[in-house]
Amino acid sequence: MSVAADRHRRFAGAFTHRVDGVTDWSVPTPVSDWTARDVVDHLIAWSSAFLAAGGVDLPAGPAVADDPAVAWNHHAAQVQALLDAGDADRVFVHPYAGEHPLDVAIDRFYTTDVFLHTWDLARATGQPATLDLEQCAEILEGMRPIDKLLRSSGQYGPAVPVAADASVQDQLLGFIGRDPAWRP
């Protein structure tokens, strides 16, 4: 089993746990103008389009508008099955992201997004919002050198200043444009 498959299982599982704890899908999130439902919709729609642009079509699932939890569970299972298939030789070529082994592309672009949005969904819905600190440090270390590229992509807002002695989670959240102190 690949590292990417293991990481997806772990981080999608943590997100699924938060999805299962949502009682109101219309609550606002730390992402401006997004509700809890929008976070799930983003992860499913964005990743499906990302993969399709590289020639990987996931089987369509239930609509987020009808049941975000069912839609998420279907989607996460499809991505996990793709990773578990272990097609290590498969090359994924995306018009903007370039060429990568498929499992690396999923891990780098999608699983990381799932990890980051776990905090958004947890914080919005009053659930535990602590992330894996080792993963926070790894992501932050990888993002800092490409700060300008990330900001110019439109995927990240301006960094939110945090205290010099802030936790690595708060540093990462601030870096990606979230206020670690945000409350609904």
pTM of the model: 0.93
Q: What is the pLDDT of residue 88?
A: 57
Q: Residues spanned by CATH 1.20.120.450 within the chain?
A: 3-129
Q: What is the pLDDT of residues 117-169, one digit of tens each?
A: 999 999 999 999 999 999 999 999 999 999 998 888 888 889 999 999 999 99
Q: What is the pLDDT of residues 75-126, one digit of tens each?
A: 999 999 999 987 656 887 776 776 788 888 888 889 999 999 999 999 999 9
Mean pLDDT of 48-72: 93
Q: What is the pLDDT of residue 98?
A: 67
Q: In the structure encoding, which two tokens stand for residue 82, read together?
A: 């793709």
Above pLDDT 90, what percent of the chain? 74
Q: What is the mean pLDDT of the chain?
A: 92
* Fold type of domain 3-129: Four Helix Bundle (Hemerythrin (Met), subunit A) (1.20.120)
Q: Which residues of 8-17 are buried (b: 16+ CB within 10 A; e: fewer)?
A: bbebbebbbe
With bands split at pLDDT 50, 70 and 90, how would you rate the model's confidence at 59?
very high
